[in-house]
Amino acid sequence: MDFPLIAVLAATLTIATPLVWAGLGAIINERAGILNLGIEGTMYAGAFVGFLTASASGSATLGLLAAIIAGALAGSLMGLLTVTLGVNQHVAGIGTTLLLIGACDFSNRILFSAGSQAVTAKFDRLFAGTGFFAQYPMTYLAFLVAAPALWWVLRSSGFGLRLRAVGENPEAADAAGIPVAGTRYTALVLGGALMGTGGAFLTLSLLGSFTLDIVSGRGWICIALIIFGRWKVWPVVAGALLFGFADALQLQLAITPQFGAVPNELLIAFPYLVVIGALAIWGRGVRYPGAYLVPYRRA
């Protein structure tokens, strides 16, 4: 059997897609000085609310819209806790994740007691088969629209400049007339919307159904990718592709006869070993945003 390299590369893009969406959201948050550990829960909320809406309306587009709103609301909650109330960002983020996952699981049980249920509509691949371009629309949007747009916004727009100013030195930004709290709220809402979109990719593109633990730690992987990518768009995208490639490769090698002697446990651990290795090499000596983790209060 010839090794299906093209299929592995195609799977790389698919696996990386939710990481790119959520990773871009995390970049916006963290460049504003907020570590958002609510990312896992926000993706979960996007996955569930998107599924719920698509299931009820029969429209994947409406489902995606609802997921974006759910993500934005989750970002607002993080804003309330970390910007307005000044709560420790680690505690606020983990609390948000636990709350959102618990609320979604509870709602799922109330509404779908029979368990997993297929949605009536999901986004189809643009091209059939296992070829490189057989991808979902949300994959094309992530790589060709969202990532370049955020790169441009952070680099060249006034909002990007204000975002970075607030994340690096909020006192100076405040003195310059930049609304620190408003900018951070905006960052959390926008970032949450992107994270919700990443979660919705799982239910509205990949699977067409919702099951418990559907995000399965992808949000936490994004936290590592942000440090690996040093809060820059293209390195984060590259990190997501690296993880996606390692995961796609191990899935293919696991059923390739020539690799039959390699322990399954080692293959499954391979993508995570790659991330740890990449962090060990490129994650050392990183310079965090100047106001990272620090709530801002005008003196």
Partner 1 sequence: MTRGPSAHGASPRWSRRVLGALGTAAIAALVLSGCGGATGADPSSDSAASDLPLVFGAFATPLEEPWDGAIHAALQGAADDGLIRYEHVDNLATADDMERALRDIIGSEDPDLIMGDAFAAEDAVRAVAADFPDTAFAFGSGGAEQAPNFSVFDNWMQDPAYLAGMLAGGLTTTGTIGVIGAMPIPEVNRIVNAFIAGVAETNAGATVTVSFINSFFDPATAKQAAEAAIAGGADVLFAERDGVIAAAEEHELPVFGMMVDQQEQSPDYVVSSLVWSMRPTVEAVVADVVADKFAASNLAEFSFMINGGSFLAPLNTGTVFTIPSELTTLVDERQGAIMDGSFVTIVNEDAPAGSTTLGE
- Counting Cα atoms < 13 Å in the Cβ hemisphere of 288 gives 11
* Residues between 68 and 97 that touch partner 1 (CB under 8 A): 81, 84-87, 91-92, 94-96
Nearer Cβ to partner 1, position 76 or 230?
A: 76
**Residue 266, phi-psi category: left (phi > 0), alpha (psi -120 to 50), beta (remainder):** alpha
Residue pair 61/115 in contact by the 8 Å Cβ criterion: no
Residue pair 183/70 in contact by the 8 Å Cβ criterion: no
- 273 near partner 1 (CB under 8 A): no
Instruction: Tell me which of 58, 61, 107, 109 binds partner 1, using CB under 8 A.
Output: 109
Q: Find the shortest distance in angstroms from Cβ 92 to partner 1.
A: 6
- 142 near partner 1 (CB under 8 A): no
Instruction: Tell me which of 58, 61, 98, 157 binds partner 1, using CB under 8 A.
Output: 98
Residue 273 phi, psi (nearest 5): -65, -40
Nearer Cβ to partner 1, position 177 or 265?
A: 265
**Residue 212, phi-psi category: left (phi > 0), alpha (psi -120 to 50), beta (remainder):** beta
- Using CA atoms, how far apart are residues 157 and 248, in angstroms rounded to an integer? 36
Name residue, tokens 């910007």.
Answer: 83
* Residues between 2 and 21 that touch partner 1 (CB under 8 A): 4, 7-8, 11, 14-15, 18
Instruction: Tell me which of 62, 160, 211, 220 binds partner 1, using CB under 8 A.
Output: 211
Q: For the purposes of burial, counting CB atoms within 10 Å of the CB of 168, is it exposed (0-12), middle (13-18) or buried (19 or more)?
A: middle
Nearer Cβ to partner 1, position 206 or 222?
A: 206
- 37 near partner 1 (CB under 8 A): no
Q: Find the shortest distance in angstroms from Cβ 231 to partner 1.
A: 26
Instruction: Tell me which of 58, 61, 102, 126 binds partner 1, using CB under 8 A.
Output: 102
Instruction: Tell me which of 65, 121, 149, 207 binds partner 1, using CB under 8 A.
Output: 207
> Got the DSSP string for 120-182?
S--PPPSS-SSSTT---HHHHHIIIIIHHHHHHHHHHSHHHHHHHHHHH-HHHHHHTT--HHH
- 121 near partner 1 (CB under 8 A): no
Structure tokens at 160: 């990007």
- The binding site for partner 1 (CB under 8 A) comprises 1, 4, 7-8, 11, 14-15, 18, 81, 84-87, 91-92, 94-96, 98-103, 105-106, 108-109, 115-116, 118, 124-125, 128-130, 202, 206-209, 211-214, 216, 247-248, 251-252, 254-257, 259-260, 264-265, 268, 297
